[in-house]
Amino acid sequence: MDKKIIEKIKSLSEGACEGDSIEEVFAGCFKAAKKTLGIMPFDEQIAAALALSEGKMVQMQTGEGKTLAAVFAACYAAANGHSVHILTFNDYLAERDKNWMKPIYDEMGVSVGCVVESTPRAERRELYKKQVVYTTAKEAGFDYLRDFVTLDADDAVFPDTLDFAIFDEADSILIDEARIPLVIAGDIEVSDSGELREIYAKISGFGEEDSAFDEDSGNVYLTDSGADKAEEIFGCDIYAEESAELLARITACLKARDILKENKDYIVKDGAVVLIDEFTGRAAPGRVFPGELQPAVEAKHGLKITSRGRIMGSIALQYFARLYPKLSGMTGTAESAREEFEKIYGILTEVIPTRLPCAREDHPLELYFDKGEKRRAIISAIKEAADAKRPVLVGSESIEESESIAEDLKALGVKCEVLNAKNNALEAAIIAKAGESGAVTISTNMAGRGVDIKLGGEDRADRDIVTNAGGLLVLVTSMRESSRIVQQLRGRAGRQGDVGESRYFAALDDEMIEKNDLKNLAGKHYPTEKTEGALSDKALLREVERIQRISEGDSFDERVNLMKYTLIGEKHREVTFGKRRSLLDGSYNCEMWQKDAAGLYEKAAERFGEKEIQQLENKVLAALLNEFWCDYLDYTTYLREGIHLTQIAGRNPAEEYNIACEEYYNSAADSLPERMTEKLEKLLTCERLEDYKIDVPTRTYTYLLNDVGEELKAKPVLVGVFSDSYEESVKSLESPEKTEENSENSDGERTEKHGFFGKLFGRKK
């Protein structure tokens, strides 16, 4: 522990220490934790708190006390006049951590609040005024968007200015879910016409030969036979400009029917389609597929097609995070994402050592000939552990797989708990018992994340029995898109020096391995005849590990590509949202009516009063900015659908997209005075000021859009013939895997990488 902090703790015990320096505040927190919770903070927790206070990304292993470390950093910031948002993984953890740590905050004289999905909006303004607020990134972002559609400053709840954010499970929020936009939409007389349902019914005659799936872009497209069939069924030129919307709906229906799988990509629950998070494998309520894909899936299952109205505002989580002038984070797997944290967010990573040496044994990847052989090995490992009364946690890839494994175990008489698509509190309760003697828990990737698994159960009654059996055994059932998910799963065992073990399984016919064409990469080392047991060819195993790096590089490239297309929109959003807020809080007054329609303005001011007209003018422009922004979002969505075609002309799609967005934004902004005059003319037809109604949606609602930028990855067939400029334009943004060979200088020393994000954002202070 820092010597100065030790001295302050000692002097504080003698009643001689007060102040707001980091040593004095940390000493106060140390004493408060002992007094109120009976917890003696470890040196490693103090080190983590120091790193958080410096705005760093902190890696701490499971069970090492991240929750308490955040309290130290939050209290120091609060003592120095800053507000702090601690953004957790889900509502359950936000409420749990706030209630758990509140005695320390009370002892330190720091006000603390919690905002979750069920918190009434009327209470949120006061809660956000607390010095420390526990919430989720999603809920905070939704409040930011809701304020954008209010017409009264008193209805806004989110702080005007943000200060300091600490992200818990930061890799999940800031990387895995970073590109997911938070959306607020409004119903403007939108209804289901039944047209998409009819289209889905009409494609029932399409066979495998009529469409194809592009693995790289994730898009479905019609083959020649499919195009002919579509033109015959719908009676039009399917590739004509006026058929663009119909073509998009047809391909969405085909993707919903042939590509998206129930219990893997989504589940149907209570008459609604609920998406499955691709990283956690858990249900993600409130998230929807983009464009026509959501109603197409609903049509597939004969469900009521839900209206999503018009999108009135959106912000991706990575941009919402950057609204905070200072941010830091905590996770168990920060080191493997160090480069991305620094390039995108400008924050450095610090690895905090475990308090006790890690006693967990992590076995290397076990590769099997096919899924059948792999399943037999997994079931055998579970059965052997269960017979020895050893607890087992199985990290399955999907709901479908978790249920299938459970069925296999049931046939063998092995009892197990299956965790998928349940509420977070129930998940946490079951995960907390996963360390009990003989417990077998089958979960999706990271169910119960944020909850420690203690050997012997929550009360540790069977700790000695479990320890003698070898501790918790974690089984990872397949290769994941990100190695961080595997590391997170492995890290559930070996808490605070406990014994434990992890095994990692894969098969040659796993989706990820087939997608990356291991057969071609491995060449002669790829087995041609079925083999029982794990494969031992080292060259083959090296190629499998290479696939992992390639996959992570591809995911990084996708996030880069999406960011290139969304940067201009974030610039425009910041300007539009800022102007609208200033209209409502009175810091700016609109004078369009005075300047562009002086005669009409004088008539209105004389009839209704100048002060009243000024207040109304501000609200009318605020509402018009909502309409303006809706139009802008509609335009950018349309533009994204076809911008990749500019590659045929040898132009850079990202540059063309940004230029077009800038031109549209400026042109639309120039039209605002004329549109405001039309509003004034409408006002003058009213007898009373109260008779004038500002155009607003009938209702608004929020959701998350599963936007992976598929249309931005599309490449026209002839692009390779006409131009290589697109490939050249992204060389500076290549993934770590693709730049690995070129990252050394002539002396063999690794050079610092200065990429797109570094130039764009710089480093936060």
Q: What is the pLDDT of residues 407-431, one digit of tens each?
A: 999 999 999 988 865 445 577 778 8
User: What's the whole-number average pLDDT of the chain?
Assistant: 84
pLDDT of residue 745: 42
Q: Beta 349-351 vs 219-222: how paired, if at all? A: unpaired
Q: Does residue 171 contact residue 337 with C-beta atoms inside 8 Å?
A: yes
d(C-alpha 21, C-alpha 53), whole Å: 12
pLDDT of residue 752: 36
d(C-alpha 70, C-alpha 52), whole Å: 7
Rg over CA atoms, the chain = 28
Number of Cβ within 10 Å of residue 586's Cβ equals 10
Q: Which positions of the chain have pLDDT values less than 70?
A: 1-19, 187-193, 215-218, 278-282, 307-308, 420-425, 445-450, 641-650, 706-765
d(C-alpha 667, C-alpha 393), whole Å: 57
pLDDT of residue 381: 97
SS3 for 90-144 is CHHHHHHHHHHHHHHHHHHCCCEEECCCCCCHHHHHHHHCCCEEEEEHHHHHHHH
pLDDT of residue 483: 84
pLDDT of residue 758: 28
Q: Residue 450: which of 765, 742, 167, 131 has the closest Cα? A: 167
Beta carbons within 8 Å of 200's beta carbon, 6+ residues apart: 253, 256, 257, 296, 299, 300
Assigned token pair, 340: 């991305």
Query: Which burial class, exposed, middle or buried, applies to 261 when counting CB atoms under 10 A from its CB (0-12, 13-18, 19+)?
Result: exposed
pLDDT of residue 723: 36
Assigned token pair, 617: 């003018």
Enumerate helices (H) and strands (E) in the chain, giving the number of each: 32, 21
Report the interhelical angle of 195-202 vs 244-258 (nearest 10°): 60
Instruction: Give Cα separations from 89 to 175, 238, 488 (angstroms).
Output: 13, 45, 14
pLDDT of residue 602: 94
Number of Cβ within 10 Å of residue 362's Cβ equals 17
Q: List the domains of the chain with CATH numbers.
A: 3-187+317-351 (3.40.50.300), 195-308 (3.90.1440.10), 365-546 (3.40.50.300), 561-566+590-729 (no CATH)
DSSP assignment string, 677-742: HHHHHHHTT-SSGGG------SEEEEEEE----HHHH---TTHHHH--HHHHHTGGG--HHHHGGG
pTM of the model: 0.79
d(C-alpha 397, C-alpha 293), whole Å: 23
Bridge partners, 221 (sequence order): 212
pLDDT of residue 109: 96
- Containing 143, the helix (H) or strand (E) segment is helix 137-148
Number of Cβ within 10 Å of residue 5's Cβ equals 22
Number of Cβ within 10 Å of residue 23's Cβ equals 20
Q: What is the DSSP letter of 470?
A: T
Q: Does residue 712 contact residue 562 with C-beta atoms inside 8 Å?
A: yes
Phi, then psi, of 750 in degrees rounded to 5: -75, 130
Number of Cβ within 10 Å of residue 334's Cβ equals 25
